[in-house]
Structure 1
Amino acid sequence: MNTQYFPIIRAKSGELEALTFLSKLDKASLARCTPIFEITKLDGKALETARKRSDTPFEKYLDERAHKIAQIFRGKHVIVDVSQWPLDFTTEGGEQVLSFICNRLNELGVLVCPIIGYDRWEVVEYRETITSMTLPDRSFFCIRLDSLAIEDLGDPDHLAEVIEDMVASTGLIESTTPVLIDMGDVTKFSIQEVMELLETAYGQMKTLGFQDIIMSGSSIPDSIEKAVKDRDSTGLVQRKEMIAWKGFLSANPTAKLYFGDYGVRNPRASDNIAPNMNVKIRYTVNNAYFVARGHSVKGEDGYAQSQKLSKIIVNSIHYRQPEFSWGDNKIMQCSLGKIVGSSTNWIAYDTNHHLKSVTSEIYEFALQLAAITERA
């Protein structure tokens, strides 16, 4: 059964806290979760602060990311990508970011699996970084097909040529190398369009000999106004990626297609906290997000709006009870006026509930599919 979940997660404080509490309180869900960590770039004010604290701010930052990941995933597989960093960027010691973070994670006992980005393969520096890497036992590369590769689906000969070069240059074995079909932001796609794209990409990868395919996409918009039009109101946002995955497997129950998404963030969402951001809670439910939107933090009640929004979540038909996850427990505490929470806290609460909810949703769907297939 395809019960493993592959969330694309930024290696930032909120998401890492969500995973930390998942590991402490729900080891069964963590075991069905293999994160694809995007190591975010150190820049802006964070870089200025880091330079005041260290002569090697980039290496210190990457080392800290590695230690936080290892605290949760020592002895387990994680997939790692550094696509946010410039291709020619090196640390203070002259090492490429991908090799640096992978080496540190290996030393810390994590079974780290580097991403090979289709969009970056033709850049010499990037290709040399990948081909010079030696993976330890039980680790593997993962090929990521993003927007450029998706455009190339219309030219299957060129797509095959690039991927065959990856295989030849790195010695990959297609049958044991997973491929991530990353559709990114699918907010402007219909479910039918997502399905058609998925069918095309899956078919072409199978033709090239790949067996394990992961799909990923995000239906959560890049601004709360696009999710819920009116301030101080609620709305449901369809999770098109989940609906398409279920539809594909319902039609192809023996397919080895695994599910991934971007958690509660849009792939293009900024990491910078806007001074007039809207307070919000993104609560994952079956096939959708239930979104409770407040108003600007500069308005009435500021961040304390979260207490009113939490009451809306708790009193809705969607709430799963405080025992369901650490995030649900925090929502209950907030609804009772015991906490407020910062924007980073709410990324953690929402993400923790999302991870628990999606691992459960995948597992329950796989059981249902297996039962239907057995009766057929």
Structure 2
Amino acid sequence: MLENSLFYPKKLRPDMTPAYFPILKAKDAEFKALSEAKDIVKKTMIPLFDIPKFNPELKRYQGSPHPKATFLDELSVAIKDVWSSMPLMFDSYHWQTPGDRTETGEHHLSYLYESLKSNGLNPIPVIGYDRWDDEEYRAGLKTITGSHTGLVCLRLDRYAFDDANDPEYLKERVNEIVDELGITPSNCHVILDFQDLSTSTLVGVMEDFDTLFPLLLSFKFATYSIAGCSLPRETANKPRNLVLEPAFAFAV
């Protein structure tokens, strides 16, 4: 069982209890599942909430002067209702465009970060390797990391696995992210996100890992986790299903 191979690095939680890092969409089904989880289970988790794409056509946002901001505030409250003050990660992988701003002029990620903080939550910002080239996205992250004092997370997806075939390029890009955002590697968690594994082989996954992971060791990041979802896409997209991407953590 996956649970038997998990542990919580001291950097993330000092009691060293087993760790589980579900990557889940910030939607009603996932909120309902978390609301029914026992406290002893929640203590073993740090979830990553993937903010869904904003739909301006929804009736409740018609006529609103700040529909995006309202949407993000609603998500912040929904997360607060199920997750209290425990650490959580948040990302907007599915958002319209990486640099998109709310009607207030703030970047959507920095707006959500402040909303989560104002609701008494303990948010961990996630930096998407795949979106780093977007200037507005970088600016939004700088706004967050300029005042954030806790753990940060670097999410390496398929773009990073592909770039690992050019080791110097990948290391230069990661180094640019670290330098530009003023990240202290010893305070940074890294997710190796394999994403859709439904058509992947175990041999292929291990080869991808063995290509990328050694390139990261010189940075001396605090901890790492591996994530992936093996459910077929046609199954994962059914609205009644709660689809989690499990992840385990390890330190080196």
User: Could you report, residue by residue, the CA deviation over 1:210-249 in whole angstroms, capped at 9, with x for unpaired residues?
Assistant: 231111111100114xxxxxxxxxxxxxxxxxxxxxxxxx
- Which residue of structure 1 aligns with residue 156 of structure 2? 145
Q: Please state whether the residue corresponding to 2:233 is helix, strand or coil.
A: coil
**TM-score scaled by length of structure 1:** 0.58
TM alignment of 1:221-240, pairs within 5 A: 221-224=232-235
Tell me, yes or no, if structure 1 residue 183 matches structure 2 residue 199: no
Of 168, 172, 197, the residue aligned with 2:208 is: 197
Cα distance, 1:143 vs structure 2: 0.6
**TM-score scaled by length of structure 2:** 0.84
Q: Point out where structure 2 has 5 or more consecutive residues left out of the alignment.
A: 1-6, 9-17
User: Could you report, residue by residue, the CA deviation over 1:315-361 in whole angstroms, capped at 9, with x for unpaired residues?
Assistant: xxxxxxxxxxxxxxxxxxxxxxxxxxxx5xx43xx56xx79xx79xx
User: Could you report, residue by residue, the CA deviation over 1:34-58 in whole angstroms, capped at 9, with x for unpaired residues?
Assistant: 11111111226xx331333633221
Of 19, 30, 46, the residue aligned with 1:15 is: 30
Of 151, 160, 167, the residue aligned with 1:156 is: 167
Of 39, 42, 46, the residue aligned with 1:34 is: 46
Paired residues of 1:160 and 1:208 also in contact (CA < 8 A): no
Tell me, yes or no, if structure 1 residue 111 matches structure 2 residue 126: no
Distance 2:54 2:130 in 1: 22
Tell me, yes or no, if structure 1 residue 80 matches structure 2 residue 85: no
Q: Please state whether the residue corresponding to 1:17 is helix, strand or coil.
A: helix
Paired residues of 2:90 and 2:126 also in contact (CA < 8 A): yes
Paired residues of 1:198 and 1:215 also in contact (CA < 8 A): no
Which amino acid in structure 2 is aligned with residue 183 of structure 1?
A: F
Q: Please state whether the residue corresponding to 1:119 is helix, strand or coil.
A: helix
- Which residue of structure 1 aligns with residue 72 of structure 2? 62
Moved over 6 A (4+): none
* Number of positions where the alignment pairs a residue of Structure 1 with one of Structure 2: 233
Of 19, 28, 41, the residue aligned with 1:4 is: 19
> Does 1 or 2 have the higher relative contact order (CA < 8 Å, sep 6+)?
2
Report sequence identity in percent: 27
Paired residues of 1:59 and 1:91 also in contact (CA < 8 A): yes
Distance 2:197 2:75 in 1: 29
Which amino acid in structure 2 is aligned with residue 78 of structure 1?
A: L
Describe the shift of the 1:164–1:136 C-alpha distance in structure 2 as closer, same or farther (beyond 3 A): closer
User: Could you report, residue by residue, the CA deviation over 1:246-265 in whole angstroms, capped at 9, with x for unpaired residues?
Assistant: xxxxxxxxxxxxxxxxxxx3
TM alignment of 1:258-277, pairs within 5 A: 265=236, 269=237
Q: Please state whether the residue corresponding to 1:154 is helix, strand or coil.
A: coil
Cα distance, 1:132 vs structure 2: 2.1
Paired residues of 1:113 and 1:142 also in contact (CA < 8 A): yes
Distance 1:167 1:13 in 2: 34
Cα distance, 1:202 vs structure 2: 2.4
Which amino acid in structure 2 is aligned with residue 29 of structure 1?
A: V
Q: Which has the larger radius of gyration?
A: 1
Cα distance, 1:172 vs structure 2: 0.9
Tell me, yes or no, if structure 1 residue 207 matches structure 2 residue 218: yes
Please report the RMSD computed on the Cα atoms of aligned residues, expressed in angstroms.
2.3
Q: Please state whether the residue corresponding to 1:187 is helix, strand or coil.
A: coil
Cα distance, 1:206 vs structure 2: 1.7
Higher relative helix content? 1
Paired residues of 2:99 and 2:135 also in contact (CA < 8 A): no
Q: Point out where structure 1 has 5 or more consecutive residues left out of the alignment.
A: 225-264, 274-342, 367-376
Which amino acid in structure 2 is aligned with residue 191 of structure 1?
A: L
Paired residues of 1:202 and 1:213 also in contact (CA < 8 A): no
